[in-house]
Structure 1
Amino acid sequence: MEVHRCRFVDYTPHTITSLAFSYPSTAKFAPNDLRLAVGRNNGDVEIWNPKNKWVHELTLYGAKEQSVEGLVWCSPEGESPRLFSIGGTTKLTEWDLKTGKVLLEYDCNAAIIWSLAKNESQDKIAVGCDDGTVVVVDISGGVGSIEHYAFLQRQDARVLSLCWKGDSHVIGGCADGKVKVWSCSPSSKRLVSSMKVDKSKTESTLVWSVLYLPNKDQIVSGDSTGSVKFWEFSSFTLLQSFKVHEADILTISTDLNNNCVFTAGVDRKIFRFQNIEQQKNQKWVNLSNRLFHSNDIRSMATFESKNLNLLISGGVEKNIVVSSIKSFADGQYRKLSIIPQRKHVVMNRERKLVVMWQDQTVKIWRLLQKIVEVDSDEEMINGHEADDGVEQLKESFELVAKLTLSDEENITQCAISQDGTILAVGRLSTTKLFQLNEKQGTNGLKVSKINNSSINALGSSHLEFYGNDQLIMVTPENEIYKVSLESDDIVEYSLTDLAKSKSKLSYCENVTHIAITHSKLIVCRSGALDVVELDNDLQLESMPFLRLSSYVVRISISQANKSVILITHENKIYEFDLQSSHLTSWSKANSEFLPREFLQLQESPLGMFNVGTRLWVYGSNWMSVFDMQMNVPMDKKETKKRSRAGVVIGHTEEDVESDEEPENENGDLEVSRAEIKNGKEGGIAYQLINKYKSILFAGNLTDDELIVVERPQFAIKQPPAFKLSQYRV
């Protein structure tokens, strides 16, 4: 196989601005609907499932020059979780989780909103504004209902942070270096206390974060001087002060029982404070700190239950960092990959085009003809030692088109026709078509808009071309259309009803994946797969294909085996015959006995594709290949437990590819051709490859050529980070 290894695609993830769990910590088991909302500074909100290897289930798309500066879930018992956000405007936004669209934007009739917080009963939200106003709104009317409740007593300083004490008081951190407390009872909306923090000698002190500890009846504040202060709420007096951070403290979080407090901010460190008993008095102690991040920490969120114990942090570095509350000081932590689990790259094989989209921009590169060939017997290739028996080929690439849309909405999906002449670009409210023609005398593409009223009127959450002249579209409302590009003819297909879901999350029955084979459209909703006959316009309702209890993270079609292949959240691979919907013989023999190293991979699969009878599966930092005509290797312990028809073939360490990195200072594309050593029966049944890092996309150009698009984290520009003090011992 030739592997085209590309690092020129300049996808850049966005800063994490806010984090919020859908439920508060509990002494019971975690709710099944527990989710983490992650706000980004491009206006997107990601919904992650913290169970099942951290699956990114949904993206709520923002728009140009928007940012999510605060998030809050309201999940009263027995009701569906509701998600609210703020983002540098005067409006409080409620999201429709079913469609991914904005459900309601409520103007608070004050200045720009800087902060928000919910009360204990989760029926009111307070927002803090630039002009010092604190507005309380009532959301008890249910989904889509936001009503004005009260303006709290006015003060002049910008309200940078907010929290509640139960339902009775609102606590704010302000830009005048004070922590202020308002009463929010039916009879009083007065400012009842104002507590000063330490002043900076060079600039005004900003109280960026406040948190109320109900089990201690205390307030914790973090400010721009790096001071953490604990206040007694009943007397509004200072209990303890710690000057541990070297810069602004931007976020504070706590555990279930309020015995631990975590603080973080610009200096990149997370500090842990522990409440201990000394001489019958409760005291806070600075117990430990960890350096997980390479840049500012903008937000933290904690969740604790019988089965989960999570401290989540994120910021300018763009990774979600997962660590533990209980073993914070010396436990392991994990950085979720910056590579999105949602597709951002597609490829056209015929014209060797690579298409990447992000926000409002689409970029198209072309892989050019080989320009340099180096003999395999040379000692050095591109500054690296040449592997024995490996021929290194170098190719070039060229950015042939860049399209920036005038609409403000972020792009949800792109698709390119099989002949590479038409590009479809989807947003939640509209879909646009563009003609891609060759520019005479250059490698460039001339992009021109195609007007198609039927397609322009439909928003897209999923797009696929059916041939070159028809487009399959799934709208945010889960409507499925087949639209002709020639005549504007449109056919709508209806999906069969699913059994009532136990989940209160409205998006759990949304279409998550689609795939086309010949005249069949495979539609995946969570663990349910349906088949739509695209050429039979008399059959406009989908037919149930199979129903699984597991969440399906990826699907693929094997043309060679005439089967549909899927991967569940447990990394289990199943293959079903397209005609009978029964498990294939390979799946019966192998699905429950996949290699342990594959099942235990932490990073969720990002994609998969078929080349002949081989199935390629890849995550952000790994690739694996299965030959679907051979049984996978068995562990020695398992060999005695089972007997399977067919040949079991393993591989030796010599078969695994080298970890050697290609030279990539200029983002050059490299091609390597290696001889795969055959197993005893002429092939390798399974192989795991760890050579490639930060894989954004992988696919096959031909049966003999693969393309791997990488986006290493070191290639992503970061703003300057705070320089920590260094002490020589």
Structure 2
Amino acid sequence: MDIHRCRFVPFKAAAINAVAFSHPHLASDSKYSRGAPARMAIGRANGDIEIWNPMNGSWLQETVIPGGQDRSIEGLAWVVGDDEELDNSNANTTSHGNKGRPIISHGSLRLFSIGYTNTITEWDLEKGSAKRNASGQHGELWCLAAQPKGATVTTQRLVGGTMDGCLALYSTEDDELRFQRLCRMPKKSVKIVSIAFQTRQLAVAGCSDGTIRVFDIRNGSILHAMTMGRDLQAERSVSFADNSKKGGSAKDVIVWSVRCLPNGDIVSGDSTGQICIWDGVTYTQAQRIQSHTQDVLSLATSADGSSIISGGMDRRVVLYREIAGQASRWGKVWHRRYHQHDVKALAAFEARGVSVVVAGGPDATPVVLPLQKSGFEHHRALSHLPQTVPVASAPDARLVICWWERRVEIWAFDSSLQETLSRIGADTSDADVLDRNRRLVGRILINGDANIAAAAISPDGSLVVAATVNEVKAFHLGRASSGEMVISKVAVPSAVATKGASGALISPNGRWLALANGAENHVTVLEVVGADKKEDTNKKVSFCAKPLRLARLRRSIPHHAQFSGLGRYDRRVARMAFSPDSKLLVVGDLAGYIDTWVLRGPDGILDAVSTADGENGEMVDAPNDANDSDASSDEDEVDTDGGSEAAARANKWVRSPSAKQMPKLSSAPMVLSFSADIPGTAAVAGGADGTANSPANDYVLLVITATSRMYAFHPLQARLVQWLRRLAPANLPLEFRNIRDIPKGVLWQGPRLWIYGASFLFMVDTSVEPVAAPDTSAASTDKAGAPTPSADPPKRKRKRGDDTGAGGRMTLPGLVPQRVQMVVDSADGGHSGWVDVDMEDTKDKHRGNDDDADENDSDSDSDAGEADKDAQHTQSQQQPQKPSPRRTRKQQQQQQEEERKQADEQLQKHLQSPQRQLPRWWHTFKYRPILGVVPLAATSAPTALSSPSTGYPSLEVVLIERPTWDMDVPLRYGDDER
């Protein structure tokens, strides 16, 4: 595979300004916490909101709600509705296997945000857009918090701090958002920059004048005011800088963050780099800890109030815990620097088996830190890149598009990598090769203030589609006589153009455009006219006037589940895929359901489809809405161009006859990809008998879920392929099973799968049987001692252990046996020589029980870094050696030569076996972080092989990285490294 390694895309990850969990603390002993839909929301400086699913420590980025021009998310808050216990005797609510158990209908989740305006925005997670806005007669909102629930009254109000010194109260009752009133302060020049709730009715506000005020939000009165004093260190620095001033100018302390402990005590972090603990009854200062060299910007606390975490401008994250034997006294445990910039946001999350703190800041990378087992587990840096790849390619035209915010850039690669190297010399650096081979040939700017949610390009490079949450736009790419690219608009039907979309995909033949919009009960398909006319590539394409609406299957989801928790958010379309001949369309949603449609007509694979499963099939699972024409009747499943005879003969998309038999996946599909298999042609990924090059009787659909589990389906038959056992977790290498990053995409090279994520590129050959490696360990290494790709490592069951959702557990340090030599005289009185001294293995004495070390080795994951993994691999390979007689250097060399010869002979026999001529798997962590990998040239047919030795089609791809060091970040306030 030829790889073009690039960093040319305009993608820029924005700073993290806010992090919030819907359920910060899920009590394991509460029946209402079982199955609660906990989510994490991350707000960025460009207005994007990311929705993450903790997934017991897997951390899946499910959705990105795109922002817009001049938008910024500065605060986030979740409002959770009331849980309800339903009667299990009701047949409509009784689920299989739950008889006798209460059914909990979880309260609905609502997400709100602020962004340096006087407006609070509520977000519709199902559609991925703003739901409603509310504002009042007050200044800009700088902080936001949700009122805690009470014992009897469970409604929650939103309280925001303004720049003119007011607390703004907003009501969320009756699924509305309304401004209520203001709680004012005497001074309008004071800004409220942080807020927390001590009780349901008492709000604690941190102010810019060095005070902490306690408000009673029932009547708006100020009950207590605690002052921080002056910043004496800043005053002295000003005095020393200007000798003409005797005392310098006074500087107020800014209370950037406040939190309340379960016992009522108040914790504050301010601009002096100190945290203060205040007594929750007397409102007096109990303790002051100087732990930062610059401002403390964020605070987080554990559920039981035994831990405090602070983050500041000095990039430090500091952990504090109560001192044993001293009541209400706190001590600093440690501090670490996980970020390259300020630590602006902190949020704690504790659930069954999960106890973490998520930190973020201007460096755009979320970092997950262990809370309960801090010091015993590694941290984990989540990817700052989106899970959905913002890159697409036109293989036939050698074009690549990438989009960010409101622009799309088009890049052209003039020649292949091999041709470029042969022309300029193979010894040229990679950067020079890429600079000479790629060109920016066009740029598209989208009008409006909404960022691009999805984009696509046709394989021949003639059509580009860009979609926002409000509209869909299309552009035609042509060539002028001078060779320059000409970009012109293409009219999109108004029924589609004004609705927007969250996903877009163009079929391989360029004739169909599929659009998905959030959790809607249908998928829209547009036919492209003129896409198949190859004689005139500059002829402008167009769309059919009337779109086709493909209804999704109605699923047997309990009624209460559709209106509790996140509602129909799980039905959001996550991925879409066309078959290689563009006659089959597949979509998958976050719930794990897969819907399939086939093309019927002159160009389709079916001339007649059973009406029971085709046009008159069931509608989607959403309740019928009189205002929604998409769910009014089953006739809207496929719309045509009218009643003309030509329209009657036109191609139609109908539901696949076996759509209902497709199984529900255990988690959301993150990868949907078809192999090159087409029914009736030679199979490349496995035929009917499970071997390559046999006649294919169905397509092959590869699905990789959020838990990195791989499935391969025959979608027309709704059954698994026979060779799927080769992709079973037990047959996959340990290196792949230890990767925690979720796969982002896959490329096919005949039967080979090239799977990539943010930090890895992995190849597995589906045509090679997973056989065991030779018994001798020498056969698994080459002459240089490096592992060969054709030798599988010994299979070991991966154990997650008891890690709490961040990185893997830290391994216990051990002493590695060192090589010690000494000079001894020979027995015959000849020349002396160097011999090895057998050292007693102190590993067991130092580490104790070795079983624990083995378990820790199996818990290693990719997030600990390549160096840690290499060290763990080396440590696992080292075994206590038996005492051996002393040997001279010549004898040792002779024995080593014999061992190498034996290893070479066994390795040659192993490679010459019929099923092991080619490597079954290969991986690398060289490229990181990976934004996306897209094919650059059309994959050759299975008969046109790039190399007789491999027998696989040629594959040329563009691999795009976007490291954080290559992005612009704001300047830090000081570079003190103390």
Question: Common fold, TM-score beyond 0.5?
Answer: yes
The 5 Å alignment of 1:75-94 reads 75-78=80-83, 79-94=107-122
Q: Which residue of 1 aligns with 2:39?
A: 35
Q: Does 1:422 align with 2:556?
A: no
Which of 537, 543, 554 is matched with 2:671 structurally? Answer: 554
Q: Is the 8 A contact 2:506 2:514 kept in 1?
A: yes
- State the AA in 2 paired with 1:115: C
| Alpha-carbon offset, residue 84 of structure 1 | 0.8
Alpha-carbon distance between aligned partners in 2 of 1:630 and 1:310, rounded to the nearest angstrom: 41
Q: 1:698, CA displacement in angstroms? A: 1.2
Q: What are the ranges of 5 or more consecutive residues in structure 2 without an aligned counterpart?
A: 84-106, 150-154, 239-250, 528-541, 602-637, 639-651, 678-684, 686-698, 792-864, 867-909, 940-953
Amino acid of the structure 2 residue aligned with 1:18: A
Asked if residue 273 in structure 1 is aligned to residue 320 in structure 2, the reply is yes
Q: Which residue of 2 aligns with 1:645?
A: none
Q: How far did 1:197 drift?
A: 1.0
What's 1:596 paired with? 734
Contact 2:262 2:303 in 1 (8 A): no
Matches within 5 A, 1:696-715: 696-700=931-935, 701-703=937-939, 704=954, 705-715=956-966
Contact 1:207/1:221 (8 A) holds in 2: yes
Aligned residues, how many?
Answer: 685
Q: Cα deviation per residue 1:524-561 (whole Å; 9 max; x = unaligned)?
A: 12311111123455664563333223332211111224
TM (norm. structure 1) is: 0.88
Measured in 2, the distance between the counterparts of 1:58 and 1:48 equals 7
Contact 2:727 2:766 in 1 (8 A): no
Once the 2 structures are TM-superposed, how far is the Cα of residue 339 of structure 1 from its aligned partner? 2.4
Question: 2:971 maps to which residue?
Answer: 720
Deviations 1:2-26 (A, max 9, x none): 2222222232111011001110313
5 Å-filtered alignment, 1:629-708, equals 629-632=767-770, 653-655=787-789, 680-681=913-914, 682-700=917-935, 701-703=937-939, 704=954, 705-708=956-959
CA distance in 2, matches of 1:48, 1:172: 29
Q: Distance in 1 between matches of 2:390 and 2:665?
A: 27
Deviation at 1:715, TM superposition (A): 1.8
Does 2:777 match 1:628? no
Q: 1:31 to 1:112 in 2, by over 3 A?
A: farther
1:634 Cα offset (Å): 5.2
CA contact (8 A) 1:650 1:679 kept: no
Report which stretch shifted further, 165-174 or 552-561. 552-561
Cα distance, 1:383–1:132 mapped onto 2, change above 3 Å: closer
Distance change in 2, residues 1:380/1:416 (3 Å): closer
Instruction: State the Cα distance separating 1:452 from its structure 2 match.
Output: 2.3
Q: Which has the higher contact order (CA 8 A, sep 6+)?
A: 1
Distance in 2 (alpha carbons) for counterparts of 1:375 and 1:552 = 41
- Structure 2 Cα separation of the partners of residues 373 and 458 of structure 1: 44
Q: Do 2:747 and 2:753's aligned partners in 1 also have CA atoms closer than 8 Å?
A: yes
Asked whether the 8 Å contact 2:790–2:911 carries over to 1, the reply is no
Kept after mapping to 2: 8 A contact 1:119/1:125: yes
1:516 aligned residue: 578
| Greater strand content | 1
> How far, CA to CA, are the matches of 2:392 and 2:434 in structure 1?
24
Matches of 2:125 and 2:203 in 1, distance apart?
28
* Residue aligning to 2:227: 196
Q: In the alignment, is the contact (CA less than 8 A) between 1:126 and 1:135 conserved in 2? A: yes
Following the alignment from structure 1 to structure 2, what is the Cα–Cα distance between the partners of residues 551 and 572? 10
| Superposition deviation, residue 309 in structure 1 | 0.7
Partner residue in 1 for 2:544:
487
Match of 1:586 in 2: 723
SS at match of 1:597: helix
Q: 3-state DSSP class of the match of 2:344?
A: strand
TM-score (norm 2): 0.66
**Contact 1:211 1:221 (C-alpha < 8 Å) held by counterparts:** yes
- Check whether the contact 2:789–2:920 (CA below 8 A) recurs between aligned residues: no
Alignment partner of 1:531 is 2:621? no
> Following the alignment from structure 1 to structure 2, what is the Cα–Cα distance between the partners of residues 456 and 273?
54
Instruction: Determine helix, strand or coil for the equivalent of 1:399.
Output: strand
Distance 1:374 1:81 in 2: 55
Secondary structure of 1:10's match? Answer: coil
**How far, CA to CA, are the matches of 1:636 and 1:169 in structure 2?**
70
**Matched residues in 1 for 2:565 and 2:971: separation?**
42
Amino acid in the other structure paired with 1:132: G
Distance 2:456 2:345 in 1: 35
| Corresponding residue for residue 389 of structure 1 | none
Q: Is the 8 A contact 2:933 2:959 kept in 1?
A: yes
Post-superposition shift, 1:409? 0.6
Q: C-alpha distance in 1, partners of 2:771/2:929?
A: 27
Provide, for residues 369-388 of structure 1, a one-character-per-residue CA deviation record: whole Å limited to 9, x for no partner.
3698557999954399xxxx
Q: 1:259 aligns with which of 284, 302, 306?
A: 306
Q: Residue 183 of structure 1: which of 206, 216, 227 is its match?
A: 216
1:59 aligned counterpart, secondary structure: strand
Q: What value does the CA root-mean-square deviation take over the aligned residues? A: 2.9
- Contact 1:289–1:329 (8 Å) recurs in 2: no
Q: Give the Cα separation in 2 of the matches to 1:493 and 1:406.
A: 29
Answer whether contact 1:4 1:706 (CA < 8 A) is retained. yes
Structure 2 residue aligned with 1:470 = 512
Can you list the C-alpha shifts for 1:668-703, whole angstroms capped at 9, x where unaligned? Answer: xxxxxxxxx977433222222223221111133243
Q: What is the rounded CA distance, in whole Å, between the counterparts of 1:529 and 1:635 in structure 2? A: 37
| SS of match in other structure, 2:763 | strand
Q: Aligned partners of 1:263, 1:251: CA distance in 2, in Å? A: 6
Distance in 1 between residues matched to 2:38 and 2:774, nearest whole Å: 38
Distance 1:379 1:113, change over 3 A: closer
Aligned to 2:709: 572
Work out which of the two has the higher radius of gyration on C-alpha atoms and give 1 or 2: 2
Q: Encode CA deviations 1:600-659: one digit per residue, 9 max, x unaligned.
A: 21111011122222221101121112222222455899xxxxxxxxxxx999824499x9
- Greater shift after overlay, 549-558 or 127-136? 549-558
Question: Relative to structure 1, is the Cα distance of residues 596 and 370 closer, same or farther in structure 2, using a 3 angstrom cutoff?
Answer: closer
> Which secondary structure does the structure 2 equivalent of 1:141 belong to?
helix
